[in-house]
Structure 1
C-alpha cells in the first residue's frame, strides 16, 4: 500500500494514536494495580488486562511496521505523561478505587471507539491484517469494559463497607 495515499496516511496516524493510547493505558493500569491493596478481584483483572494491553501494543507495532512506519515518540511520551498525571491525581483522592474503576470504564470505551475507527479505516484501504488485529484488540477492550461495568457496583459496595469501618482503609 502506498504510504502517500491520504487514506493510508490517516490509518497510519490513527495506528500511532492507538499505540500511544495503549502506552497510556499500560502506565495507568500498572499504577492503579500497584496501589490496590484491598480489592483483589479488581487488581487481578487489571493485571490480566495489563498483559492484554502489552500484546495490543505489539500488534499495533506490527501493523505500523508493515507500512515501514514506527510509533510516534512524541505521542507515546504524551500518553505516558498524561497517565502519570492521572495517577498522581488519583492517589490523593479518598475514594481512589471507585474513581479509578469508573475512569477505567470510560477509558475502555475510548479505546472501543478508537478500534472501531481503525477497523473501518483498515477495511477502506484493504488492509485485512490490520483490520483483523484491531478486531482482536476490540474484543479485549469490550470484554474489559463489560467486566468493569458489571463489577463497578461490587467495588462501590466494598469501598463503602470499608469506608464505614473506622479501622479499615478504603481508598485502595
Structure 2
C-alpha cells in the first residue's frame, strides 16, 4: 500500500468533510422543498421526513469530526449548496410529473452522498483518522438505505402517478 503524507491526507479529509457538510445542507434544502409540495404521496413524505432527521444527525456527526480535528465547516460552501438545493427542487415544480423527476433526482443525489462517504472512509483509513470511522459508517449506512428505498419505490410511485393521472387527480406532486 502506498504511503501518503500526513499533510496531504489531512487536507483531503478536511476538504471532504466540509464538502459533505455542504452536501448535507443541500440535501436539507431539497427535502424541505419537496416536503412543501408532496401532496398525493404520503409514503414519500414520511420517508423524506425520516431521512431529514437522519440528515441533521449526519451534519452533527460531520461537525463532531471537524471539531475533533480543530476545524470547522465552510459557511460559504453550506450557503452555496443550500441555494443550489432550493434551485434544483424549484426546477421540478413546473414538471407535470414532478414526483417522478424528484424520485430520479433523489436516487442520484443519495448515490452521490454514498460515494462521498465511501471516499471519506477511504481517506480516514489511509490517514489514520480511526475516530471518525464509526461516525462516517453510520452516515453511509443511512444514505445507502435511503438510496435503496428510493430505487425500490420508483415502480410504486410510477404506478401511483399513472393511477392518479388516469383519474384526473393531482398526480405530479
* TM-score category of the 2 structures, normalised to the smaller one: over 0.9
Q: Deviations over 1:90-118 (max 9, x none)?
A: 11111110110111011000000000000
Structure 1 residue 75 corresponds to structure 2 residue 86: no
Q: Does the 8 Å contact 2:66/2:73 carry over to 1?
A: yes
Match of 1:120 among 122, 127, 147: 122
- How many residue pairs match? The answer is 168
| Runs of at least 5 residues in structure 1 that lack an aligned partner in the other structure | none
> C-alpha displacement at 1:89, in angstroms?
0.6
Residue deviations 1:14-58 (CA, integer Å, cap 9, x gap): 000000000000110111112111101111011100000000000
Of 20, 30, 35, the residue aligned with 1:28 is 30
Among 128, 139, 142, the residue aligned to 2:141: 139
**CA deviation after TM superposition for structure 1 residue 125, in Å:** 1.0
Q: What is the TM-score normalised by the length of structure 2?
A: 0.94
Q: Deviations over 1:136-159 (max 9, x none)?
A: 100000000001111110000001
Runs of 4+ residues deviating >4 angstroms: none
SS in 2 for 1:5: helix
After TM superposition, the structure 1 stretch with the greater mean CA deviation from structure 2, 108-117 or 70-79, is: 70-79
| TM-score normalised according to structure 1 size | 0.95
Q: Which residue of structure 2 aligns with residue 169 of structure 1?
A: 170
Structure 2 residue runs without a partner (length 5+) = 1-5
Shift, 1:75, TM fit: 0.9
